[in-house]
Amino acid sequence: MAESERQYNHPRDDHNPRPRLRERQREAIACALFITPAVIGFLIFTLVPLGISGYLSFTNFNLANTPALVGLANYREMFTDDLWWKSVQVTLVYALSVVPLWIITSLALALIMNQNLPAIRLYRTVFYLPAVLSGVAISMLWVWLLNYQTGLVNQLLKMIGIKGPNWLGDYNWALRSIIIMSVWSVGWYLPIWLSGLQAIPTELFEAVTVDGGNWWTRLRHVTLPLLSPVILYNLVVNIIWATQLFTEPLMMTNGGPRFATQTYMLYTYRNAFQYNKMGLASAMAWVLFVAVLALTFLAFKSSSMWVYYEGERKRG
């Protein structure tokens, strides 16, 4: 948001300090035309269902009845529900752990992968692999790997004299196990980072190298600033995805033990389709929606301080 304001209030570019209004209008019309399909799609395929789910959050919809308005009852039930608060806590812990882990490990991996080394394409494919493997097959594999007694992980730990925890069965370890497993799928971000890194002009690196800068200088003063739009993207998408965690706890722990891995999404799903409380589930979804929206908004607000857009340089 902030960056646009900056753009909007500044003359268009150096060549033409005072653009005629007509040109500005033409640009606005062009903009409208370019974004129209997306806006129409949004109105039809998203906003209408979204609005209806918002409406349902004030009703007693149970998947079978004609919804009747119940005021704020669902919201009241949610805020007084211990299990809801527990799911908020689980999701926060997960998101706060996994978002930095994802960003740092996947960026580090991508920096290594971006070198022009022989056979690097093979390695890239290998690291990308977990992103295309079926979530089901993978969850089953991890359940076996992390098995308390017979799992490979604990067998290996035993060899070096460590008694491994009951990864998925222990109240304190279950969520950590899922966090560890999530990190393994960082490959998803690999193509995004790589295409971002490829867009950085090589002579900028050369300039720094000529000036005697080491890899840290290059990273700090060239790579990171030029990559910052991609970092913003990954940050926002990561936050969103972290709050949507659902399949892994459902498959691996079913939310247990004792709700230790019952994430916000899993609890929403349970309320919607197992407990037949679609009204309550809609309210939960909307609270999450507003919370993540606020976070995203903050990320964008702050982005003017740390995100650097090459395309904007000459304008501001």
Partner 1 sequence: MKSHRMTRRTFLMWSAATAGAGALAACAGAPPPPAQQPAEAPQEQPTAASAPAEPAATGASIEYFSYDLGPANESREQIADKFTELNPDIQVKNTFLPYGDTWNKLAALMAAGTPPDVIYADFSVVNHALEGNLLDLKPYFDADADLAVTDAFTVDLLDPVMAKYGTQQLYNLLIGTWVPILYFNMDLFDTAGEPYPTENWTFDDLRATAAKLTTADGEQWGIQWGTTLDQTGWTWWLQKPADFWAVPQAFPAKTTWDSPEGLKVMEIYKSMGLDDKSAVPFDLMGGFQQFGAAFGAGKSAMVLGGDWDAGWGYRDLPFKWGMTFIPMINEGYRPNLNTTQSGNVIAAGTKNKDAAWQYARFMAADETAQGYIGAAAYETPVFKKVAQSDAVMKPDWAAPGYETRVKAAMLPGPSLCPYPLSTNLWEFSDKYLDPTVVQVTTGEMTPQEAVALLDKEGTPHYQQLKDAMPEPQS
Partner 2 sequence: MTGTTTPARSAKPHQRSRKTHRRLTAAFTYLFLTAAGVLFMFPLYWQVATSLKTVQQTLTYPPVWIPSPPQWGNYLELLDRFPMFQYIGNSTFISLAVITGTLLSCSMAAYGFARLRMPGRDLIFVVLLATLMLPGMVTLIPQFVMFQRLHWTNTFYPLIVPAFFGSALYIFMLRQFFMTIPVELEDAARMDGAGYFRIYAQIVMPLAKPALITVAILSFVATWNDFFGPLIYLSDNEKYTVAVALRYLQGSVRTRPENHLLMAAATISIIPPLVIFFIAQREFMQGVVVSGVKG
Binding residues for partner 1, rule: CB under 8 A, are 5, 8-9, 43, 47-48, 50-52, 54-56, 61-67, 83, 140, 143-144, 147-151, 166, 168-170, 252-254, 256-258, 270, 273-276
Under rule CB under 8 A, residue 316 binds partner 2? no
Q: Which does 154 bind (CB under 5 to 8 A by kind): partner 2, partner 1, none?
A: none
Note whether 262 and 250 are within 8 A (CB).
Answer: no
Q: How far apart are CA 215 and CA 102, in angstroms?
A: 22
Q: Which does 90 bind (CB under 5 to 8 A by kind): partner 2, partner 1, none?
A: none
Under rule CB under 8 A, residue 275 binds partner 2? no
User: What are the distances in angstroms from CA 249 to CA 91, 100, 182, 252, 259?
Assistant: 11, 20, 11, 5, 10
Q: How far apart are CA 175 and CA 260, in angstroms?
A: 7
Under rule CB under 8 A, residue 184 binds partner 2? yes
CA-based R_g, the chain, Å: 24
Q: Which does 311 bind (CB under 5 to 8 A by kind): partner 2, partner 1, none?
A: partner 2
Minimum distance from CB of 61 to partner 2 (Å)? 9
Under rule CB under 8 A, residue 195 binds partner 2? yes
Under rule CB under 8 A, residue 4 binds partner 2? yes
Q: Measured from the CB atom, is 171 or 306 closer to partner 2?
A: 306
Q: Which does 263 bind (CB under 5 to 8 A by kind): partner 1, partner 2, none?
A: none
Which of 66, 80, 134, 274 binds partner 2 (CB under 8 A)? It is 134
Q: Which does 302 bind (CB under 5 to 8 A by kind): partner 2, partner 1, none?
A: none
**Do you find a cis peptide bond into 257, omega within 30 degrees of 0?**
yes
Q: Which does 179 bind (CB under 5 to 8 A by kind): partner 2, partner 1, none?
A: none
Q: Measured from the CB atom, is 7 or 172 closer to partner 2?
A: 7
Q: Measured from the CB atom, is 104 or 136 closer to partner 1?
A: 136
Q: What angle do CA 101, 105, 109 make, to 5 degrees?
A: 170
Q: Measured from the CB atom, is 19 or 54 closer to partner 1?
A: 54
> What stretch of H or E contains 217?
helix 215-218
Stretch that binds partner 2, among 82-90, 91-99, 119-127, 166-174 (CB under 8 A): 119-127
Q: What phi and psi values does residue 59 have, to the nearest 5 degrees?
A: -125, 175
Q: How far apart are CA 168 and CA 161, in angstroms?
A: 21
Half-sphere exposure of 266 (CA within 13 A, CB side): 24
Q: Measured from the CB atom, is 142 or 193 closer to partner 1?
A: 142
Q: How far apart are CA 96 and CA 114, in angstroms?
A: 27
Minimum distance from CB of 9 to partner 2 (Å)? 10
Q: What is the DSSP letter of 66?
A: P
Minimum distance from CB of 233 to partner 2 (Å)? 4
Q: Name residue 59's beta-bridge partners.
A: 69
Q: Measured from the CB atom, is 153 or 260 closer to partner 2?
A: 153
Note whether 107 and 226 are within 8 A (CB).
Answer: no
Q: Which does 293 bind (CB under 5 to 8 A by kind): partner 1, partner 2, none?
A: partner 2
The 3-state DSSP class for residue 153 equals helix
Please provide the DSSP assignment of 235-252 as one string: HHHHHHHHHT--HHHHHH
